[in-house]
Chains A and B, each alone.
Chain A
Amino acid sequence: DADVTQTPRNRITKTGKRIMLECSQTKGHDRMYWYRQDPGLGLQLIYYSFDVKDINKGEISDGYSVSRQAQAKFSLSLESAIPNQTALYFCATSAGGQGDTQYFGPGTRLTVL
């Protein structure tokens, strides 16, 4: 089984709808992250969490919110989706420390019409 799972894998929605993307990990890591990927831009950090009680904004958090329900679960919400939020979204987890390796989920492709 995959260490990091994301649901759904694909989602098409309409402008103004509320959307939740879910992420679960079985690696036992404290740190979890949400990124979005747009062509030619690499990955941009939306939110990150270093433990269940710690939530931090990344470089592009506007229009998004998150919830860390448990060590293993980290959800990303779009309160009112807009077309420029169409992107590939990745969840990742890491243990922390020097040379911290991130483990990525398979991604969620979100299209906002």
Chain B
Amino acid sequence: AQSVTQLDSHVSVSEGTPVLLRCNYSSSYSPSLFWYVQHPNKGLQLLLKYTSAATLVKGINGFEAEFKKSETSFHLTKPSAHMSDAAEYFCVVSGWGSSASKIIFGSGTRLSIRP
């Protein structure tokens, strides 16, 4: 069975400070993990993904995430927040070579940026 938990429904940081969005997962087999971003009134856009290669994954707009198997985590980070980062972020887990029914979305984390 697979599941994904985003530990914070809302995160607020000041512009220029680090961002940490937390995601824990469970999977019976080697998962693929994704972070998607959704800006207001927009569809979802892929930020980055992990597919069993390097455990530190770099994405667009300065975001990165580290796959930690021992902690079953895939937290999203950015060294310095920008106002344009304000959005909803979704952590997603999917099974390797599996059907779409094994694609699981987290409930989302809303990121707010204070000036």
Interface of A toward B, CB cutoff 8 Å? 4, 31, 33, 35, 40-45, 48, 50, 56, 58-59, 90, 92, 97-107
Question: Could you pull out 10 A-B pairs where Cβ atoms are within 8 angstroms?
Answer: A42-B90, A43-B105, A45-B100, A48-B99, A56-B100, A98-B32, A99-B49, A101-B34, A102-B46, A104-B45
Q: Does B101 lie within 8 Å of A58, measured CB to CB?
A: yes
Give A49's nearest chain B residue, CB to CB.
B100
Counted as pairs of residues, one from A and one from B, with CB atoms less than 8 Å apart, the total is 64
Chain B, interface residues (CB within 8 Å), range: 20 to 34
Q: Give A88 to B50 CA distance when docked, in angstroms.
A: 27
Residues of chain A with a CB closer than 8 A to B99's CB: 48, 50, 56
Is B103 engaged at the interface, CB distance under 8 Å to the other chain?
yes
Q: Give A107 to B39 CA distance when docked, in angstroms.
A: 12
